[in-house]
Amino acid sequence: MTSFITGIIVHFWFPIFIIIIIIIIVVVVVVVVVVVVIIVVVVIIIIIIIITILVKAMMEYASVMWNCVTSDAYNLEHTQQKFVSSVFFQSPRLQL
């Protein structure tokens, strides 16, 4: 009688345990995949921020000098002329 009851318990509960283990494995795999995707997205966002802050700033440095349009060129030349005139024509030490 005991072996009959244990046989029923083993045959009845064994498939349920297998299904539960499979469900747990699937949930763990899904959680790991989601965590990896989140980490990859965060790394990509950090790389984009670094590129925006560092590389773009270096590329745009003095862009008026090497890629200027007419209005930028006029403003740059006007600023240079103002500086030169303030140094050479208004300085009491340099006047003859």
Is pLDDT larger for residue 33 or for residue 63? 33
Q: What is the pLDDT of residue 96?
A: 44
Decide: 64 and 72 in contact? Cβ < 8 Å. Answer: yes
What the block records as the tokens of 78 is 């006007």
Is pLDDT larger for residue 48 or for residue 13? 48
Indicate if the pLDDT at residue 93 is higher than 60: no
Indicate the pTM of the whole model: 0.48
Sign, CA dihedral 15-21-27-30, equals negative
Domain spans of the chain, in order of start: 2-61, 66-96
CA distance 16 to 9: 11
Q: 18-59, pLDDT tens digit by residue?
A: 888 999 999 999 999 999 999 999 999 999 998 888 877 777
Is pLDDT larger for residue 37 or for residue 16? 37
